[in-house]
Amino acid sequence: MSKDQHTGTEVAPEEAQTPEVFENPGMEEHRERLADVDPRSAKRNERIIVLILVISALASIAGIVAYAVIPLDGESSSVRQSTLFLGLGLGIGLLGIGVAAIHWAKTLMSNVEYIEERHPQRSDDETRAIAADMMKAGVEDSGIGRRPVLKAALGGAVVLAPLPVVVPLVGNLGGEWNIDAYRHTIWGDTPEGFVGTLPDGSVGRRLARDPDDTPIRAADVTIGSAFHVIPHGMSEEEEYYNEKAKAVVLMVRMDPADLRERPERESWSYDGIVAYSKVCTHVGCPVALYERMTHHLLCPCHQSTFDLADEAKVVFGPADRPLPQLPIAVDDEGYLVATSDFHEPVGPTYWERLQ
Ligand code: FES
């Protein structure tokens, strides 16, 4: 015997308290389903389940076919399409199995309601053996043994559903990237009307303010100022946003005495004016927070900090290489021009590893 916590009265052991019959806590009266009483309805529901599973299997196959057929040539549009169809195949494949299972349970599986008593969590061995028998009976009750078409459709859908994930993992996820597309920016292009002539007779693309595309005279750049710069005339580019994303540059002017350049890079700056890619070499955020006194440039994403006075070397943060420098000079009209494209890929370091 034990005591009731609230009243202090003695109560019977737990077994003695368990009523023979539980009261209905408010559940609706049990109703037969149509499929329980009409074999034609059961057959119709079986066909619906098979149809859903077949759609699931076809979606999985379509996802794999799309992965195989859509060329992954490094163009962002084809990667988008391949990812879209692969995702749709996987999603519809898994969704179909889930919907079929729910419909199956609601229409064809046993419609008997059981009242289950609450017991301590671990059942005794006898109860566990009974549970195992019940599970076997449940499998039997689901009718899968008597419905070979349903069984085959379920097997096919379940086997095929993981393939849109497995096949690309075993294959080559993302395809072959066109690395050259990431090495080249339009700073190396010299379209007529947007270039200036250098003392040696060569031409270079003029630097222009972002976004109004006004060419920049060296004389207008004061010490301590910072400019967001794009190649002059880039609004005429077909792939404007893609090209701009790669070509954006931050240009600053500092006291030439502050610059610490290697001799081979002295011709890449002009009287204290330097230009560096704005695409962070960590994972590609725009680095644009310039600290004039220290000449440090901060990336807002993960705080990588680059020293523009020292060839944009990393002084803090996760980036592991300097920002690429754009070599600049002044043309015969006093405008700043790029003397060449960047000498290395812009953006995250992993492009460099994909040699
Ligand atoms: S993207 Fe610049 S620090 Fe991470």
Domain spans of the chain, in order of start: 31-172, 181-354
Nearest to 226 by CA among 250, 203, 201, 198: 250
Q: How far apart are the first and last CA of the chain?
A: 80
CA dist 170 and 308 (Å) reads 43
What is the structure's pLDDT at 3? 46
What is the structure's pLDDT at 172? 65
Which tokens is 16 given? 């003695």
For residue 231, give the H/E element and its range: strand 226-231
Whether 298 has a pLDDT exceeding 90, the answer reads yes
Choice from 281, 283, 297, 314 to test ligand 1 binding pocket (greatest atom count within 8 A of CB): 283
Per the confidence metrics, is the pTM higher than 0.85?
A: no
Between 11 and 152, whose confidence is greater?
Answer: 152
198-225 residues labelled b (16+ CB within 10 A) or e (exposed): eeeeebbbbbbbbeebebbebeebeeee
With both helix axes pointing from N to C terminus, report the angle between 163-170 and 76-107 in degrees, rounded to the nearest 10: 150
Nearest to 261 by CA among 276, 244, 280: 276
- For residue range 104-147, list pLDDT tens digits in order: 999 998 888 776 766 667 788 998 999 999 998 888 888 887 88
| Atom in ligand 1 nearest the alpha carbon of residue 317 | 3
pLDDT tier for residue 1 given thresholds of 50, 70 and 90: very low
pLDDT tier for residue 330 given thresholds of 50, 70 and 90: very high
Which tokens is 211 given? 């976004």
CA–centroid distance, 324 to ligand 1, in Å, is: 15
What DSSP string runs through 32-72? --HHHH-HHHHHHHHHHHHHHHHHHHHHHHHHHHHHHHS--
303-329 residues labelled b (16+ CB within 10 A) or e (exposed): ebbbbbbebbebeebebeebbbbbbbb
Q: What residue ranges line ligand 1, CB within 6 angstroms?
A: 280, 282-285, 299, 301-302, 304, 317-319
Whether 209 has a pLDDT exceeding 50, the answer reads yes
- For residue range 144-166, list pLDDT tens digits in order: 878 889 889 999 999 999 988 88
The Cα-based distances of 2 to 15, 120, 121 in angstroms read 12, 18, 21
CA–centroid distance, 185 to ligand 1, in Å, is: 21
Domain 181-354 has CATH 3.30.930.10: no
Cis before 211? omega within 30: yes
- For residue range 255-290, list pLDDT tens digits in order: 999 999 899 999 999 999 999 999 999 999 999 899
CA–centroid distance, 242 to ligand 1, in Å, is: 19
What is the structure's pLDDT at 76? 63
Whether the Cβ atoms of residue 233 and residue 212 lie closer than 8 Å to each other: no
